[in-house]
Amino acid sequence: MKSLKLYIPETWDKMKEKQFERIAFLFNTSETNTLFYIKLFFLLTGVKWWQFSRKAKLRIVLRNYPLSDLQKNYEFIFKENNRTVFPKSIKFKKKKFFPPQNNIADLSADEFAVADDLHIKWRKTKNIEFLYYLAAVLYTVSKERPVFNKNNLHQYAIPFSKLPVCKLLAIELAYFGCKNNLVKRFSEAFKENKTRSNKKQYGFSKVILSMAKGDLSKLESIKKVNIYSFLEQFEEDLKSAKK
């Protein structure tokens, strides 16, 4: 057999978009057996369904090397999802929707609070409607994100119900990666939120409300604050309160 060059992405962000979508779909199947890991190997090597010769060679590789050894080349996928890149712009007939910036750098505090609530509900229930709404929060009709109004979310979500499931799952998995990055950067803020949530079931919407300190006139402006600026301030407040 001639030598076979394998091109396996080194990080979540180096995956190609279609590759990432198929892996997101695979991660949401019920398979957890050897077949799952074999499918993952084929997806990560980027082999196409029509590349019969290449697939045959990969099967020879699998027969000659334990999966545990092969997985050392892509251990990152089992450690932590830190994806920062979303699927590119989405078109519905004449309408085009744009993703958030990498690492959700341009989301407002209110957008993050709603997106996170939908993400958590999807993880708990696996109700696909939550993915329609999550995509509707994250994707906007212009690159410059308009002011977010969650009262219109049902209307915004209608087009996203037509998206392939694998793309919806990729959007959610990309969001989860961005959230993981935020949790690492603002550990105190998320630790505090988790502690509060264990006592009463509420998320960042209540944190936003608490930041207004009862002054509802400030609430709308706080909602529009960039999520990074919001979390930096929230973390500072928590640290000051502990002193």
pLDDT in tens, 69-120: 888 889 999 999 999 999 998 988 788 999 999 999 999 999 999 999 999 9
Under a CB-based contact definition with an 8 Å cutoff, are residues 158 and 166 in contact? no
Q: Could you tell me if 173 and 83 are in contact, meaning their C-beta atoms sit under 8 angstroms apart? A: yes
Overall pTM > 0.95:
no
Residues forming a β-bridge with 108: 226
Same domain flag for 109 and 222? yes
Residue 7 resides in a domain: no
Give the three-state DSSP class for 91.
strand
What does the pLDDT read at residue 241? 78
Name residues of the chain where pLDDT drops below 70: 1-4, 31-32, 49-53, 192-202, 214, 243
In the block, residue with structure tokens 């050392």 = 72
Closest by alpha carbon to 37, among 47, 48, 23?
23
Q: Find residue 126's DSSP bridge partners.
A: none
Q: What is the pLDDT of residue 49?
A: 62
CA angle, residues 119, 127, 82, in degrees to nearest 5: 30
DSSP H or E stretch at residue 96 = strand 95-97
Range of the domain at 41: 12-79
Residue 186, Cβ neighbours under 10 Å: how many? 20
Does 182 share its domain with 203? yes
Q: Could you tell me if 137 and 235 lie in one domain?
A: yes
Amino acid at 37: Y
- Is 6 within a domain? no
> Closest Cα to residue 171, out of 66, 99, 64?
99
